[in-house]
Amino acid sequence: MKQQTLAIIKPDGVARKLIGPVVSKIENEGLSITAMKLIRMTKEQAKGFYKVHEGKPFYGSLTDFMSSGPCVVMVLEGEDAISRYRKLMGATDYRKADPGTIRWEYATDIEKNVVHGSDSPESAAFEISYFFNALEIV
């Protein structure tokens, strides 16, 4: 099934000049980038994006981190894009990520884990519309 998913290169990834390597892995996987921009979220915008995690112990720190510097936000498209991109990212905890995945190669911390990807069609719809309007997706 053809799907869209929302991908983020987080502030640690942008600061460490990992935009190129991450985009290469996405393109090598055969996923298409159909929208892309560099943004800097405010704390309030980060809280809104991660609302599903409100109340969890890491919510405050996560939203501080996500508003600490620029991020790249992208819409990826392809067959089973949601699960394929999640597989390419590797586990949230980089110590459990499979070899060859983005987090296995680059993440240094469970929070500063370089990338984010939507986890379901419902979250993809919410997350894509959080950053992009229809005219910005080619």
What are the residue numbers of the active site? 116
Closer residue to ligand CMP (CB): 62 or 128: 62
Interface positions with ligand CMP (CB under 6 A)? 53, 58, 62, 92, 110-111, 113, 116
Is 54 within 8 Å of 47 (Cβ atoms)?
yes
* H-type alpha helices, the chain: 11-15, 19-28, 43-49, 59-66, 81-89, 102-106, 121-131
Q: Which residues contact 78 (CB under 8 A, 6 or more apart)?
A: 2, 3, 30, 31, 32, 84
Closer residue to ligand CMP (CB): 61 or 129: 61
* Residue 20 Cβ vs ligand CMP, minimum distance, rounded to whole Å: 21
Amino acid at position 18, single letter: L
Closer residue to ligand CMP (CB): 78 or 127: 127
What DSSP element (H or E) covers 32?
Answer: strand 32-39
* Residue 53 Cβ vs ligand CMP, minimum distance, rounded to whole Å: 6
Closer residue to ligand CMP (CB): 121 or 138: 121
* Residue 135 Cβ vs ligand CMP, minimum distance, rounded to whole Å: 26
* Residue 26 Cβ vs ligand CMP, minimum distance, rounded to whole Å: 16
Q: For residues 29 and 35, what is the distance between their CA atoms, to the nearest angstrom?
A: 17
